[in-house]
Structures are given as structure tokens and as C-alpha cells.
Amino acid sequence: MVKLTPTGGVFLVIALVILVRSLLGSNVYEIILSSASLLLLLFLGVVGVWKSKKQKHMEPGWITPFPMTAVSAEESIITGLKFPMPFFFRLHFVVRGKFSPAVGVNFPVRIETSLARGEDTAKLTFNFPISGVFHGKGQLRLADIFGFFSFPCGVEQNKSVNVRSSPFFGNKIFINAQTGAEDKRTKQSSDEERYYMRQYTAGDRLRDINWKSSEKIDMLITRISPENQEKVSRIEVYFRNYGPCGAHSPSLEALWLLDRAKSRLAHFLRSILEEHSSFIFDVRSANAEWRIENTNHLDEFIEELASVSFAAPQNESLDASKSELYVFTTACDTGLPGFLMGCSPRPISLFITQPAETTGFETTELEAEKSEPQVLYRTDFLKNGIILKPGMFLRKPIAKIYAAASRVETISTETRL
């Protein structure tokens, strides 16, 4: 479909008005000027239609970065743009779609880049301020350098991408392995080669090294006797993503709280797994469960975590246990006080994202750390082609909630214009 841009439409109207007025007033100069303008529009339109139809089967490659992370200004690569460019025209790649930081919340997105003359690839920058899911359609368009016309060409490309939270920078948490539940792994004798070999670590006996296997993979491998069942520390983590959902659309303040909770959880898991590779994490949220045993599992979990939204509060019960429970939540979790009381006397480490400046309850003296507010700017959405709904520009304060646990870490958040 030929698209006359707003600029082209205004130019056409002005040229026609001048032409009519010049004919009525017999002004030769204005007749020549308006006629030349209309001929220019006609020339550009004919050339654009002709060239775009010749390339209607052109299929560009749209390569998005993986993983895609918020506030990282990552570049997508557009390939396969070998195109005999006519004079006065440039090839553009336009992406339109929606960005969903939570279920029921969709922000329109429009991002565009142009191809330099003589090049066959282009770069398109995505810079999402928070985590979520992006669904977009990419379309090549042939546009004149004056901005009068835009002609679609090539095959439309569709993409769905999870956008992870921007990294959290904070102190590492030190875990006493004895506080985690112990999980005895029982192996079948037929899987001995698979399950009773592991990478050599300091303190292993030299006589237990499997030199033959080590030579094949260029890594020291230690034999583990089948009679020795290794005890693995199992860490229980609860991501309480309760908050406004359904008919109650979350505000930008609530979305920012959830994003920072996701980021803190990812940082916690990664930092602990780097220090203790044998640890196993049992992670649960309001409506899903995961078991994380290695870095591959962790990367898969963080990718899924990007799309986790708020869930409606519900009645719940946890298995009785003396092991420590690590809870990640936000100030939107109104059922948190009752949950903490129900867990007593079980030790709880609580990581909660709270608004920086609101009225409400303060955390207890057990709070271990306070951080500087992490700020989200509304203008960051607009600068990156993301259109906020009018209601998102209004601040909707969220009250802090009372939090009492064995250990409490507060992550402060704030939204600004």
C-alpha cells in the first residue's frame, strides 16, 4: 500500500492551493512553482511504486540479540538488504509491535532505522527500560529523502522476544550450607559412568583421577565410589509475585517494583551458584515451580522470569521445615505479613522491593541493608519508541508494608518523569 506521509500530504495540499490561486490570479511564477512541486510528487510516486513492486518478495533477515536485557541498548542486525537503490530514495526497516511488562499491560512500540547507500546490512537499537515480552513485526519500506512517500516492500518479519531485567548490583549473600535441606542422590549402577564422575576439585585424592577420561576432554575427572552418595544442599526460594492483575491494571510504580524483585532474585541465584556449584535451588512462584541445578538451568529460568507477571493473592501453605526460606517479594504483596506469621518459627531471609518515598509502615530493626533508590524515568520509554498510556504518566503511590523476618533486605525504587 502506497503511503503518503503527513509531510507529503501537507506538501500536496499546499501545492494544490497555490496552483488554484495562481490560475485564478494568472500568476505565472506561482503556476510554475506549484506545477513543479506536483510533478516532483508524481515522479517520486511512480518511481517508488515501480521499485517497491520489483522487491515485494525480498526477505530480510532480522537477528535479535540473545539474551535481550533491559537498559542495554542492544542492537538487532537486519541482513539481506542487497537493493539497487534509486536516486532520492532510502531503504528503511520499521518495527511496530507491543511491549508487555505484565499481563494486560501493552505499550505500543515503533522503532525505525535506515540503510546507508552502498550497504547491505543495517542496525536497529532496542532499549527497553524494564523487563517483559516484546511482540513485533518488521517491514522494509522504500522512502524518499524528502519524506513524502513510504512504500512497503519485502516480506514482513515477526518476532517475540523476552526482555530480561537489567542487572542488579548489590552485595552477595553468604549462605551456610547447613541451613539448606539435604538431598541424597541415588544413582543406578548402569549410570555409573555418567553419575559417578565429576570434575576434580582441591582435596580429591590423586589416585581417584580417571586419567583416560581426563585426557579425552582436557579436564581432570575424579572417580566417585558408588557407595558414597554425595549430599547436596537444597535451597528453597519463594518468589511472591502477588499484586494487582486482571481488572486492576498495575501502575508503572508496581511494574518497576516487580522488575527490581526479578533482578534481585536473578542476582541472588547467580552469585550463590557461582560460589557453590553443587547447590540445588527449588524456586517457586505464585503459579510455577523450577529446579535449578546448574548454570544452564539458571539461564533458562531467568529467560522465563522475564515474562512472569503479577498474580492474584491466594491461600497457600508450605511444608513444615526447619531449613531457611529465601523470599523475594514487593510492596504489592498485601498477604506477606500473614505469610510470615504462618512460617514462624522457620528462619526467613526476606528480600523486598519497596517504594522510596511513600507513607506507610516502615521495616523493622531487623532490616540489614538499605540501598539508594533505583529510579525509572518515564521519558526513557518515549525516547526509545515506546508509547505510554496517558494514565501511566500519573504517579500512583504505593504504601510500604510491614516486614519482620530473620533477615530483611530492602530494595528502594522510585519513578520520575
Cα–Cα nearest to 40, from 153, 147, 114: 147
* DSSP state letter for 386: B
The predicted-structure confidence for 386-408, as pLDDT tens digits, reads as follows 988 887 887 888 888 887 888 88
Return the sign of the alpha-carbon dihedral for residues 263, 264, 267, 270.
negative
pLDDT confidence of residue 181: 47
Q: Residue 50 in contact with residue 29, Cβ under 8 Å?
A: no
Residue with cell 575427572: 221
Q: Give exposure, 128-162, as e/b (b: 16+ Cβ within 10 Å).
A: bbbbbbbebebbbbbbbeeebbbbbbbeebeeebb
Report the predicted TM-score, pTM, of the whole model to 2 decimal places.
0.76
Whether 250 and 326 have beta carbons less than 8 Å apart is answered as no
Half-sphere exposure of 365 (CA within 13 A, CB side): 0
Q: Give 148-193 pLDDT, tens digit per residue.
A: 998 888 888 899 999 999 988 876 676 655 444 444 444 444 444 4
Q: Which of 96-105, 181-190, 227-236, 357-366 has the highest mean pLDDT?
A: 96-105
Which residues contact residue 81 at a Cβ distance below 8 angstroms, ignoring those fewer than 6 apart?
Answer: 60, 91, 93, 115, 119, 120, 121, 122, 140
131 has a pLDDT exceeding 90: yes
Written as one letter, the residue type at 224 is I
CA distance 252 to 249: 10
